[in-house]
Structure 1
Amino acid sequence: MGMADVIIRKIDSKRDRKAFVELPFRLYADDPNWVAPLKSEALGLITPEKNGWYSHARAQLFLAEQYGRAVGRISAHIDTLALTLDPSLGFGPGVGQWGLMDAEREEVFTALLAAAEQWLREQGMTRALGPISQSIWEEPGLLIDGYDHPPTVMMGHAKPEYRGWIERAGYAPVKTLYTYELDITQKFPPIVQRIIQSGERNPRIHVREVDKSKFEEEAAIILHILNDAWSDNWGFVPLTPPEIKDVGVKLKPIVFNDLIRIAELDGKPVAFMITLPDLNEPLKPLKGSLLPFGWAKLLLWLRRPQVRTMRVPLMGVVKELQSSRMASQLAFMMIEYIRLASVTRYGASRGEIGWILEDNQGMRSIAETIQSRVNKTYQIYERGI
C-alpha cells in the first residue's frame, strides 16, 4: 500500500475528532504496554471549549485517510504564552509545535508532518518542536527507550519505529527527559536516613500533609512554589487560571492528603512534592470505556486505591534554596514520608519519579542517591521550517 488514495485533511467536526481519538485504539491493539486513555478524556483534550489550554493556544488537527479509514493523525499547535518566553528556555518567538502523532506507515507520517509544518509556516512560525501533546504539561516527548512496560498516569507511550521516522524527516533532538523507578519497599541508604533525621531535629523545618478539604488554598500554595521553582526551567510555560481549574477537576479524585506534602521553613512554604497513585493500573483493563461497569470499578478503586506504582510528577523547591543542602534535605524528607504512606496504606511497591530534564542535575542526583534507575527516556525534537 503506497500513498495512492491517502487524503490528508484538516478536521474540526465532532465526528472527525472522534475518529482522531479512535485511531490509536486500532494501531496499538496488539501492544500489551499501551494504556488506552478514557475516550471522553481524550476527546476533551482536543475540544477547545473543554480544555483551558486553548485560552492561550490554537491548534489544527489533521487526519490521514485511505479508502475512508483513518490511517494517521497529527496536531499542529501554537501556544501564545510559549512564544513570549526567552528562546534559551526552549520556546520563544516563531516556535510552533506538533504532537498527538500516530500513523500506520512512515510515508503517511511524513505527509502528516509536512501538513503540520505547512500550517505552522502559514501562521508565521519558523521552527517546529515536537512531539508535545499538546501542552508541555500533558505528554511531552517521544518515548525512545522503555517500551517494555506500560507508562504511568499522564506519561506517553509510542511505537519504536516513530523515532526513525522523525529523525529521517530532518528533526534533531533538543531535549531528553527521563523517568526513574525505584523499589519503595526498601529503606533508603543510611546517608539519606541520617539527612532525614537531622531534618527532623531541626525546629525550623516542618513537613506537612496537604488538606484536601482546603483544595483551592493548598493548590494556590503549591502553584506559588512551582512558578518560582520552575521559572528558569527549559520549556516552562506557567499554568493559567483556566488550566489550573482543569487540572483541579482532573486530579481531585486521585489526590490523597498523605501523598502530597508541603515543606515549611520558619513557617513559610518552600517546597512541595505531589504523588499520584498510578491511575493507569485500573484504567488499563477498561480499554478506554467506563461502560458498562467501568465507572463502578473506578469509583471503588478511587475510594481506597491499592496500587503497585506511585508516580511523582512534580516536585519543587523555591529558587532561593535551590542547590543548597537544605533543598535536598527537604526533598528526602518528603520522599521518605510519602514512601512510607505509599507502602503501608496503599500497598505500593514501586515508585516512578519524572519526568526530569537531562540537565536537571539537582533532581537527577536526588533520584540516584535514593537508588533509582532510569526506566524510560523521552525525546523532544526540533527543526527549522
Structure 2
Amino acid sequence: MAGTPDSSGEVVITPVSGKADRTAFVDYAYRINAGDPAWVPPLRMEAIELVTPGKNPFFEHADVQLFLARRGGRIVGRISAHIDRLAVAMDPAQGMGPGTGNWGLLEAEDQAAAHALIARAEAWLREKGMTRVLAPISMSIWEEPGQLVRGFEQSPTVMMGHQSKRYPAYIEAMGYTPAKSLLTYELDISKEFPPLIQRIVASGEKNPRIRIRGVDKSRFDAEAKLILDILNDAWSDNWGFVPFTDTEIAYAGKKFKPIVREDLIMVAEYDGEPVAFMMTLPDLNEVLKHMGGSLFPFNWAKLLLWLRNPRVRTMRVPLMGVRKRLQASRLASQLAFMMIEYIRRNSVTRYGSTRGEIGWILDDNQGMVAIADAIDSKVNKEYVIYGKGL
C-alpha cells in the first residue's frame, strides 16, 4: 500500500448496508493489497458476487454481516461475520457444530483496525448466541479457509487465498490459538514419479476391474452431480466438513465449467461403479494476475483466448475423494496414484505444465499426506484456522 498508514484516531466500525457499502467493502481489498507482488486481484464481478445475497448460494443457509472500519471517515479495514446453519448442525467432533460461528475476509491497515474489526465480529456472533469462533473462513469452508502463515512469497493458485503476513500476529494477539492447519504441496510434474509409484500404476492398468476415465463435458451436469456425490461421501467424516447443497452444486458447476478440461478430471471406476475422482484445474490465476480484477477494455479477449487453449506452468488439484467404504485400503491408494499419473501426463504433454499443486490437505489427513510424500511433493503453503471461545 502506498504511503504510511496513520494509526492515530478512533476506529469506527459500521455494518455494511446497501450497494455502495458493499462495493466499498470489495474495493478495499484491491487498495490494501496493491503493493503485494504475490497478491492476485480476483475478477471484481466475482468478488462482489461472493458477498451479495441472491448471488452466492451460501446466503441460503447462512446469516452474514459485513463490517467496514473507518478512521477519520477513511476506510481502513473490513471483515465478514457469519453463521453457517449447516456447519452449526454438524457433529462438534468434526470441528464445527452447535454454537460455532465464523468471521473472514479480514483486511486491515494496522493492528488497531484489525482488533476493532475482530472484536465487532465476535460481538455480532455473541449476540446471535454463538459461544465459539473458528476463523478466518471466507466465507464457506469450501471457498478460502484459513490464514496464510507460510508461503507468502508465492502467488496463490486458482481458488486459494492470500493474506498479509501481518495478520497472524494480529489474530493471535486477540487470544486465538490454532485449531487446524491446511497444507498445500507442490511438485515438479515434468519428472516421472518414483519407480514404486510407476509399478503401482502399471499393476492397476493390468487389473480389468479398474477403469480410469476422463469426464464427459457433454454430460456436464450429470458428471458434476456424480463428483459431488462422491465428494460428500468421501469427506463426510473430515474435520470442518459441511455438505454441499443442490444449489451450491449447480453454482459450482457453472463457475467451473469454463476451465474444466475432460482430460484433467478423472473418475475411477471399480467393477463399473464410480468410486473415486480427482479434479485438476489449470491455474487461472496465472492469467488473472495481470488483469487488475477487470475484464475491460481488452482483458476479456485475452481470457477468452486463454480458455480456448490454456498453457500454464501450474496445475492445481483442489479436490479428490474416494468413497468412504474403500478409504484406508490399498485399492484407494492405487486409484489415487493412477489418477494422478494420468493427469500428470496430460498436463505436461497437452498444456505445457511443469508444476503441480495439491491442496488444501488437512495436516492430520494421514492418507493424503502419505500420497503427497510418495510422489515427492513438498509443502509450499500453510493456512491456519484459529479457534477461540466467546
TM-score by length of 2: 0.98
- 1:157-236 equivalence runs, <5 A: 157-236=162-241
Cα distance in 1, alignment partners of residues 20 and 115 from structure 2: 24
Give the conservation status (yes or no) of the 8 Å contact 2:147–2:385: yes
2:49 is the counterpart of 1:44: yes
Letter in 1 for 2:86: L
Q: CA deviation at 1:24?
A: 1.6
Q: 1:103-123 CA distances to partner (integer Å, 9 max, x unpaired)?
A: 000011000011000100110
Could you say which residue in structure 2 is the equivalent of 1:383?
388
Kept in 1, the 8 Å contact 2:11–2:71? The answer is yes
- 8 Å Cα contact 2:9-2:72 kept in structure 1: no
Q: Please tell me whether residue 257 in structure 1 is matched to residue 262 in structure 2.
A: yes
Contact 1:6 1:65 in 2 (8 A): yes
Kindly indicate whether the alpha-carbon contact (under 8 Å) linking 1:147 and 1:157 is maintained by their aligned counterparts in 2. Answer: yes
Read off the aligned partner of 2:140 and give its amino acid letter: S
SS at match of 1:50: coil
Once structures 1 and 2 are overlaid, which stretch shifts more, 131-140 or 15-24? 15-24
- Note the 1:52-71 alignment, pairs <5 A: 52-71=57-76
State the match for 2:19 in structure 1: 14
Give 1:347's aligned residue. 352
Q: Distance in 1 between matches of 2:190 and 2:196?
A: 17
TM-score by length of 1: 0.99
The alpha-carbon deviation at position 186 of structure 1 amounts to 0.1
Q: 1:248 maps to what in 2?
A: 253
Kindly indicate whether the alpha-carbon contact (under 8 Å) linking 1:3 and 1:108 is maintained by their aligned counterparts in 2. no
Q: Deviations over 1:299-351 (max 9, x none)?
A: 10001100000000000001111011100100000000000110111111000
Deviation at 1:3, TM superposition (A): 5.1
Q: Is the 8 A contact 1:206 1:263 kept in 2?
A: yes
Among 283, 286, 296, which residue is 2:288 paired with?
A: 283
Of the three residues 154, 159, 172, the one matched with 2:159 is 154
User: Which blocks of at least 5 consecutive residues in structure 1 are unaligned?
Assistant: none
Amino acid at match of 2:373: E
Contact 1:74 1:116 in 2 (8 A): yes
Distance in 1 (alpha carbons) for counterparts of 2:48 and 2:73? 21
Opposite residue 372 of structure 2, the aligned amino acid is A
Give the structure 2 partner of residue 145 of structure 1: 150
Worse-matched range after superposition: 60-69 or 132-141: 60-69
Between the aligned partners of 2:199 and 2:212, the Cα distance in structure 1 is 16
Structural RMSD (CA): 0.8
Contact 1:3 1:107 in 2 (8 A): no
Residue number in structure 2 paired with 1:26: 31
Structure 1, 214-223 or 197-206: larger mean CA deviation: 214-223
Kindly state the Cα deviation for residue 5 of structure 1 after the two structures are TM-superposed.
4.0
Output the CA distance in 2 between the equivalents of 1:14 and 1:241.
Answer: 28
Structure 2 gap segments, 5+ residues each: 1-5
Would you say the 8 A contact 2:314–2:357 is kept in 1? Answer: yes
Match of 1:98 in 2: 103
Show CA shifts across 1:136-163 (max 9, x none). Answer: 0100000000001100001011111100
Aligned to 2:134, the other structure's residue is in SS state strand
CA contact (8 A) 2:7 2:110 kept: no
Q: Which residue of 2 aligns with 1:294?
A: 299
Within 1, Cα distance between the matches of 2:256 and 2:139? 18
SS class of match (2:290): helix
User: Secondary structure of 1:137's partner?
Assistant: coil
